[in-house]
Structure 1
Amino acid sequence: MVLSVRAVESLSEVGEATWQRFANREGSPRDPFLSYAFLSALEQSGSVSADVGWLPYHLVLEDEAKQPLGVMPLYLKGHSQGEYIFDYSWADAFERAGGRYYPKMLSAIPFTPATGQRLLVASSEHESALVAGAAQIAGEMNISSVHLNFLDQAAWQRRGDEGWLLRTHKQYHWQNQGYKTFDDFLDCLSSKKRKNIKRERRDALANDLEIQRLTGAEITEAHWDAFYQFYIDTGSRKWGSAYLTRSFFSLIGATMAEDILLVMVRRDGRYIAGAINFIGGDCLFGRNWGCIEHHPFLHFEVCYYQAIEFAIEHGLSRVEAGAQGEHKLARGYMPSHTYSAHWIVHDGFRDAVGRYLEEERTHISEEIDYLEQFSPFKAS
């Protein structure tokens, strides 16, 4: 069978029915970030576009009859912002040597450091064809590199077998060990950590704060207005500008509200803080947080403890609380490997990056081993 890969500059060129057929296949945990609703909202809202350095360039694998066999979310990037996997030093080194690093090709969920599938196909044979097509297009377009970010471990290992450069990273994830209640989780912690969490939860709500968990039709435009104010305030302080537009939140609220958990905090009838989470088939993904009033430990309550409670109540196996944050360790979120794979077109540059990644993988593993010594859980 002769297969071909073509690129499209809008998800609408693929169509919702075709995309959804591959995005959340039967037998795989549902991933809200791969849904047509989420990715098309990014495009329709202008959160991703050529103007902001995220040109959609999704790939479609087809047979001789032009029937789709798989798809791949892909972007031509004019920078490395909003990725949570850092290659700025690679870009600097390549360009100082006379190369052109940007644009590069990136398969990822924009602004979302969450593990998931990137090669959306029905068979492993088609997966190899799709990823080979991406590398071929990069060579034909004189693009420096292709990056597959936040892969699941099995797909990451398969890319290594095909000659891709392999990279590891560290996040903090909470794992559900069959807890029935939040107290069951606390009972597994050391006495000191258990007391600290109880104190933090009590102090977080000391100033007559009210927490609301909202999902589905409970989320209104008024909630999005308030949350966007928090998001803009935090985003402008962290990054200098916020990536997501206001209309993005209205779009996901209209098309995928059942996949959203919005945790909002109110004082004296006015919303003052909130966090957005996305509900997967077996995972709760914590994403953005913001506030306009600062209260001790409120961030921990809204982002970490409320997420754990929700996961326990709904039988989810883990919580991914986003990038960075050694402070998560004391609150039950353990260090975990995450994975990416990279195709570098230039042979010499590829060799240099490969040597760097070999050392980096060792360092990441050693760091995770070290951090596990500070586990808040009782010794088994």
Structure 2
Amino acid sequence: MNDYVIRVVASPSDVNPQAWNALLAAQAEPSPFMRHEYLAALHQSGSATPESGWTAQFFTLWRGDTLEAACPVYVKDHSYGEYVFDWAWANAYQQHGLAYYPKATVAVPFTPVPGARLLARDAAGRALLAQALVAWCKESELSSLHLLFGAEADIEACTEAGLMLRHTVQFHWQNPAPGYADFEAFLASLSHDKRKKIRQERRKVADAGVRFRWSRGTDISRADWDFFYRCYARTYREHGNPPYLTRDFFHRMADTLPEAWLLFVAEREGKPIAASLIALATDESTGSPLVAYGRYWGAVERVDCLHFEACYYQPLAWCIAHGVQRFEGGAQGEHKMARALMPVKTTSAHWLAHPAFADAVERFLEREGEGIENYMDHLGERSPFKAA
């Protein structure tokens, strides 16, 4: 590392936005959630701050005046908002009189979307960044380091740095080349039972007098953002939790990253009753959407099957009409398979400072990994598509 310098800053404002985003654009799996605007909005809106248990440290690797690699690291005193669950590990530490928190997490807060985490110009810079993270955790006497939902290149660098791998399952929809002609063509690819069920669910929503409209980017009005947030916050509170993201966060998204958002609003008799917000990854050169991410939804009125229509069928129809390659439905939920979102294995990487606990976790991950493989095989036998 003689030619490199590591600099760690506590605010995204201390990192050049253009340099950060240029690194991100060079990755094989960029996403809008790792853009400087997104991470800065989390920080500046009070959504991911020390007060909420997310103390940011932005690692940057320099060679001369060139930013070679970078990543966000959050020092945490809890495990909320991660979606890779390590509560059992924390409990085991506590039972043995050891402190699991604080720990370090390389992730996008509250966002279980796979993609690049270690932004680097090349594999050498990525490997050095991973090694520097482990060294920093040791020097800071942190219990552990966790890189969540990493891209393949991240996982390779973490493995070389001595981290252990953990797998989880998500459900993603693929638009096979050259793409479905329309939603009916998509339905025609499904088995009779699944096709019939989807049509029945959609009919229930339509018969209830619900109609949808969508807006993208700067066409999303401030009133629609406000209504969406009302729905989003209500969903969290109905489950007994305050919302992770503040209203100011979405204000900032509308102002600094509007092109990354697609909003569906359900209306009945001209009155909005539900909304779903989709994130978009776009082609840097053309602006065309490539990947859509189901993120947030909520409703102020109850309508049977409205959730499926707002969160799956409307977005899928939009993706087909706009040539989107993939729709990611988020973490967990086998019910998504009935809507043709198929299981995909995602990977995270973990380092624990305590040797005995590291050995125990490694054995646990081996058993868990076998279970994930069996689970994937089981899910593969339940394909919603027509038999070939």
Q: TM-score range by the shorter chain?
A: over 0.9
Which runs of 4 or more aligned residues in structure 1 lie more than 4 Å from their structure 2 counterparts after TM superposition?
none
Residues 362 and 239 of structure 1, relative CA distance in 2, 3 Å threshold:
farther
Please state how far the C-alpha of 1:154 moved relative to its aligned partner.
4.2
In structure 1, the residue matched to 2:238 is: 237
Residues 66 and 97 of structure 1, relative CA distance in 2, 3 Å threshold:
farther
The correspondence of residues 1-380 of structure 1 with structure 2, limited to 5 A, is 1-25=2-26, 28=28, 30-63=30-63, 65=64, 67-177=66-176, 178-238=179-239, 240-281=241-282, 282-380=290-388
Please state how far the C-alpha of 1:238 moved relative to its aligned partner.
3.0
Q: Which runs of 5+ in 1 are unaligned?
A: none
Paired with 1:346 and 1:272, the residues of 2 have a C-alpha distance of 51
Paired with 1:76 and 1:149, the residues of 2 have a C-alpha distance of 14
Deviation by residue 1:277-328 (Cα, 9 ceiling, x = unmatched):
1111331011011111111111111111112112222222211111121111
Determine what percentage of the aligned residue pairs are the same residue: 39
| Count of residue pairs the alignment pairs up | 378
Deviation by residue 1:185-233 (Cα, 9 ceiling, x = unmatched):
1111111111111111111222211211110121111111111111111
Paired with 2:180 and 2:154, the residues of 1 have a C-alpha distance of 30
Is the partner of 2:381 in helix, strand or coil?
helix
Report the TM-score when normalising by structure 1.
0.96
Please state how far the C-alpha of 1:67 moved relative to its aligned partner.
3.7
Aligned 8 A contact 2:30 2:116 in 1: no
Please state how far the C-alpha of 1:155 moved relative to its aligned partner.
2.9
Aligned 8 A contact 2:127 2:160 in 1: no
Paired with 1:161 and 1:135, the residues of 2 have a C-alpha distance of 11
Is the partner of 1:249 in helix, strand or coil?
helix
Residues 169 and 37 of structure 1, relative CA distance in 2, 3 Å threshold:
same
Aligned 8 A contact 1:260 1:278 in 2: yes
Paired with 1:152 and 1:369, the residues of 2 have a C-alpha distance of 22
Moved more, 226-235 or 197-206: 197-206
Paired with 2:89 and 2:169, the residues of 1 have a C-alpha distance of 19
Paired with 1:254 and 1:231, the residues of 2 have a C-alpha distance of 19
Please state how far the C-alpha of 1:239 moved relative to its aligned partner.
5.4
Paired with 1:10 and 1:154, the residues of 2 have a C-alpha distance of 26
Partner amino acid, structure 2, of 1:321: G
Is the partner of 2:242 in helix, strand or coil?
coil
Partner amino acid, structure 2, of 1:55: T
Is the partner of 1:150 in helix, strand or coil?
coil
Residues 146 and 30 of structure 1, relative CA distance in 2, 3 Å threshold:
closer
Please state how far the C-alpha of 1:29 moved relative to its aligned partner.
5.1
Paired with 2:209 and 2:28, the residues of 1 have a C-alpha distance of 42
Deviation by residue 1:31-81 (Cα, 9 ceiling, x = unmatched):
111111111111111001000001111111122x35421110211111000
Residues 241 and 6 of structure 1, relative CA distance in 2, 3 Å threshold:
same
Paired with 1:155 and 1:379, the residues of 2 have a C-alpha distance of 36
